[in-house]
Chains A and B, each alone.
Chain A
């Protein structure tokens, strides 16, 4: 698998070259959100607000009202929690084209509970006018810019940074409202988003080898959530549906799927894997994914329960996890 180093950095610079209305706002996490080179390339279009997120979102609303397209870059947790009132009333209500680039979503941060945006998708889904996206690989990190840019209103993007795998070919960019079908089977349907897709890619083929066949969809648009492909896949599942999300199971992908199933009378069991209405501990991503049941093995066990099978699969039978960078230099921007 190709691993792309900091795909946002050069891509965003190139992309913004012919879009003078695009401006970047940062709250002292410029390098951590991979826009240090962007600032140096377009200094007149870059605004450092310091740690002042309420002001930053109000400021973004003001710029957007006057015809600019602000791309706000900071950690997910800081973009929606403290300045939520500004986000709702100065950006979402007037339906302004502000792009909220939310880094280190869910448990991808080493910072512990204060830095974990675990209910952001729920809050953003509940915010009228908001489009909610999540990137799952380098191709989506690159192509989400076009998707967001084309939306006539505010967009929240769960963003990946650093060393990002390329799971989908460059020639297949993210498309608004379209899930990707990564595997097909009639027993169960598995829906993933963001970092959990890589986990399902480890588990689903192993399950197929063990005789349990899954349809696996990768979701990059959390809202609007009306993709006919998703509905068809939900209807196809003979034994049940499993969602796996880097988020609390309240209000995110699992909830969106439950809503869709209920609205369309899809009568099959649903298992929502994710943080079970709890705050999480602080530790490495890999450890937290195992600890809270967001990893490939948790998915295997859930599918076994749904289908009443014992596949006999163990961690060693699953495709290998990609090796995480642990060298101290690679960690210099851990936060």
Chain B
């Protein structure tokens, strides 16, 4: 148990602020992946504000936890989260995808502090994370590696090659969080190239499997604790989420994968995210 974790209510406030800033940023830039970003916002908040041992003042500290956002198209919400966590200046968010900006459409490790590896082409994150986790084992170090993938992303074969390797190496210092929002870019995952039964697949590949509600901070932390306490094998956390979570008309609508709101839609979305829930 990590007793120093902030309360779910506190984190919900941070998450709402991040969603709002992300929406603003996408609207201003006229580009971004709104649905994909809203779906993993709570997971990122839980990681950065309640789990990861990382230090914005020393983003390359050798003993830091490693976090890899494999669904690199959600770069926007990663940048907002990194700004909220102190890795980059919040003012810089205004440069998202603009000429000369460090904040490209996909995260670049050479430009942005806190980004461990470039992602964007789906299926890159987990293999790199397996390499990092194995390195920690080789050196006898106690830092952990976390990786967040999409669900459609798991159609890439590289993930399953990495899954075998991680289990083979017994990497209990590695945890995979799957943003299981049931949609990919053009359609539902089930209608594109079905992954079901997803949990059984991970079990069969030798991982410890735990499912949770990806918008419930207590459930997310319980899952993180499962990952920390599992010995001898890596843990896969299937986070049940909603694509576009937080804005009524983007939720579970595949069209919002990377749509940019019109002025009216923006105003409505802004209003929804500003209201403080009772």
Contact = CB atoms under 8 A, between A and B. Distances in A.
Contacts of A287: 99
A291 B99 CA distance: 9
A291 B189 CA distance: 39
Contact of A331 (B118, B152, B186, B260): B260
A328 interface: yes
Nearest to A26: B186
A278 interface: no
A329 interface: yes
Interface string B137-162: 00000000000000011011110000
Interface in B94-108: 97-101, 104-106, 108
B106 A332 contact: no
Contact of B259 (A284, A326, A332): A332
A50 B152 contact: yes
B73 A335 contact: yes
A266 B131 CA distance: 51
Contacts of A48: 186-187, 191-193
A31 B193 CA distance: 17
Nearest to B73: A335
A283 B186 contact: no
Interface in A216-230: none
A282 B97 contact: yes
Contacts of B99: 283-284, 287, 291
Nearest to A109: B105
Interface in A18-68: 26, 28-32, 36, 48-55
Given A29-B185, A291-B99, A52 B157 contact: yes
Contacts of A29: 185-186
Contact of A82 (B118, B121, B258, B259): B121
B59 interface: no
A326 B121 contact: no
B181 interface: no
Contacts of A331: 30-31, 260
Interface in A279-335: 281-284, 287, 291, 326-329, 331-335
A112 interface: yes
Contact of B105 (A28, A36, A54, A115): A115
B157 A111 contact: no
Contacts of A52: 155-157, 193
B223 interface: no
Given A48-B193, A49-B193, A329-B262, A283 B155 contact: no
B157 A54 contact: yes
A301 B43 CA distance: 51
Contacts of B39: none
Contacts of A332: 258-260
A28 to B, nearest CB: 5
A226 to B, nearest CB: 34
B120 interface: yes
Nearest to A81: B121
A78 interface: yes
A31 B257 CA distance: 12
Nearest to A110: B105
B184 interface: yes
Contacts of B104: 111-113, 281-283
A114 interface: yes
A282 B155 contact: no
Nearest to A75: B121
A328 B157 contact: no
A326 B30 contact: yes
Contact of B258 (A49, A50, A335): A335
Interface of A: 26, 28-32, 36, 48-55, 77-78, 81-82, 110-115, 281-284, 287, 291, 326-329, 331-335
Interface of B: 27, 30-31, 33, 72-73, 97-101, 104-106, 108, 118-123, 152-153, 155-158, 184-187, 189, 191-193, 258-262
Nearest 10 A/B pairs, CB to CB? A50-B193, A282-B104, A114-B120, A112-B104, A50-B155, A328-B260, A287-B99, A283-B99, A328-B30, A52-B155
Given A50-B193, A328-B30, 10 more contacts: A28-B152, A28-B185, A28-B186, A48-B193, A50-B152, A113-B106, A287-B99, A291-B99, A334-B31, A335-B105
